[in-house]
Amino acid sequence: MTTFSLNRRAALLGTAGALSSFAIGGKLAAQGAPITFGVLPPLTGAGGPYGPAMLRAVQGVVEEANAAGGIRGRQIRVVAEDDQTNPDAAVRGARKLIDVDRAACIIGTWASASTTAVAPLCWENRVSLFTVSGADSITLLPHQGYIFRTQPNSRLQISTACDYLMAKGARRVFHLAAQSPFAASSQEVMVEKFRAGGGAVSGYIVYERDKTAFRSEVDQIMRSRSDTVMLNGYLPDVTILLRELFRAGFEGRRFTFAYAANATTFQSLPNEVTNGLITFQPSPDLDSGAFNRLKNRFGNVEVDPYSAQTNDHATLAILAAAQAGEATGTAIRDNVRKISQGDGEKVDNVTDGLRLIAAGRAVNFEGASGPVSFDDRGDIQGTKFRYEVAENGRFRLLELV
């Protein structure tokens, strides 16, 4: 369904191996049919700025694994579908990956609404799902262990953000959120944290993210006497909100997620509108061998947190299948923790991991996104966070904690 547009995007990114990754497997057919990994990133829609690089990260890991002999002699084939940052499209893509392509795992769902829609298809068909979505509700689903989330959940993200804001003097925060599963759980945590810290959530509005104007919402923010506004949306709507807050004369702190305001924001808005905007995001492990390897592979394309995470998704799935000796969704599920947490020899890439497993040695993979240690629900157990401020058309690092 999306093969043509996907290959075109990959070519624009300079992914020389993108086309070949769809056909990998023929050379070693005698050693077994290729193993299919499904990738379901947002190549278009609100997540479109991130999806192509997420896919590229997966392709790079698979190419390295195939060059090293694949999974016990079987090559890996990557099949990708565009979820369009839309739950309905995500379900269509997942059904194809599961029913037609027989994918052992699905990698890279981004929006929480898409992941929530896709998750039941995965556990019902015993397909492991690796996601970068943050809503708490995702890993509370009865997923039988088939979900692994490398993105910190909303409680961890919002708790960390609230602690940061209160430390900077925020006491009255207005929460303006796009309709999503992430928004509801974010609001609960914000109310809890600010109440405990002597502050308050001074207002809360959930909006439809395809709006082109937010005059009534901005009017409510101005009346609320808030010292801070949390913009919990996506890139297109947050861009509009920043412009309208500026026009309304809002002088308080503006705080948002880094996926909602990035370098493209400076192309859409003048510096006087963006100056002072603070963004935060989970940070990759910038000093790790895995991150530097991925950075070198990407060249002049930025490695964002989602690319680092999908790099780790692909590596986890490959090493888990190699450890199990079979490439089924259940085998991957049952072996992810065996190769990513424990006393095994530390590795930061798929090639070394496959070599050690083939030699009968235990491994402990640490990725570009950091140590990939999961709790019983499938949530990542910790990460660093990066805070930046917009200054004259670029972001400057404030803190990395």
CATH number at residue 201: 3.40.50.2300
* Domain identity same for 185 and 131: no
Alpha helix (H) ranges present in 72-169?
A: 87-95, 112-124, 154-167
User: Residues 327, 38: contact at Cβ < 8 Å?
Assistant: no
Inform me whether the pLDDT recorded for 25 exceeds 80.
Answer: no
Can you give the pLDDT at residue 50? 95
Inform me whether the pLDDT recorded for 243 exceeds 90.
Answer: yes
Interval 5-16: pLDDT, tens: 343 334 334 433
Can you give the pLDDT at residue 364? 97
- What's the gap between Cα 11 and its chain centre? 22
* Domain identity same for 112 and 175: no
* Domain identity same for 61 and 182: no
Inform me whether the pLDDT recorded for 120 exceeds 60.
Answer: yes
Can you give the pLDDT at residue 383? 86
Closest-CA residue to 178 (of 186, 170, 188): 186
Can you give the pLDDT at residue 181? 85
The Cα–Cα gap between 100 and 82 comes to 16
Inform me whether the pLDDT recorded for 371 exceeds 70.
Answer: yes
The Cα–Cα gap between 346 and 20 comes to 30
* Domain identity same for 247 and 326: no
What mean pLDDT is predicted for residues 207-232?
A: 95
* Domain identity same for 7 and 149: yes
Compute the chain's Rg from CA coordinates. Answer: 21
Question: Considering the chain, what is the average pLDDT of its residues?
Answer: 91
Closest-CA residue to 167 (of 188, 144, 194): 194
Q: How distant, in Å, are the alpha carbons of 154, 176, 251 from that of 138?
A: 10, 22, 36
Inform me whether the pLDDT recorded for 378 exceeds 70.
Answer: yes
Domain presence at residue 263: yes
Domain presence at residue 46: yes
What mean pLDDT is predicted for residues 71-97?
A: 97
Can you give the pLDDT at residue 31? 55
* Domain identity same for 15 and 66: yes
Range of the domain at 342: 3-153+286-371
Inform me whether the pLDDT recorded for 45 exceeds 90.
Answer: yes
What mean pLDDT is predicted for residues 271-299?
A: 95
Rounded to two decimals, the pTM is 0.83
Domain presence at residue 312: yes
Inform me whether the pLDDT recorded for 49 exceeds 90.
Answer: yes
Interval 332-353: pLDDT, tens: 999 999 999 989 999 999 999 9
User: Residues 203, 193: contact at Cβ < 8 Å?
Assistant: no
Interval 125-163: pLDDT, tens: 999 999 999 999 999 999 999 999 999 998 999 999 999
Tokens of 15: 């992914």
User: Residues 60, 297: contact at Cβ < 8 Å?
Assistant: yes
* Structural domains of the chain, count: 2
The Cα–Cα gap between 330 and 323 comes to 12
More confident residue, 180 or 100: 100
Inform me whether the pLDDT recorded for 29 exceeds 80.
Answer: no
* Domain identity same for 161 and 265: yes
The Cα–Cα gap between 125 and 333 comes to 13
Inform me whether the pLDDT recorded for 19 exceeds 80.
Answer: no
* Domain identity same for 249 and 389: yes
Inform me whether the pLDDT recorded for 323 exceeds 90.
Answer: yes
Identify the bridge partners of residue 399 per DSSP, sorted by sequence position: 387
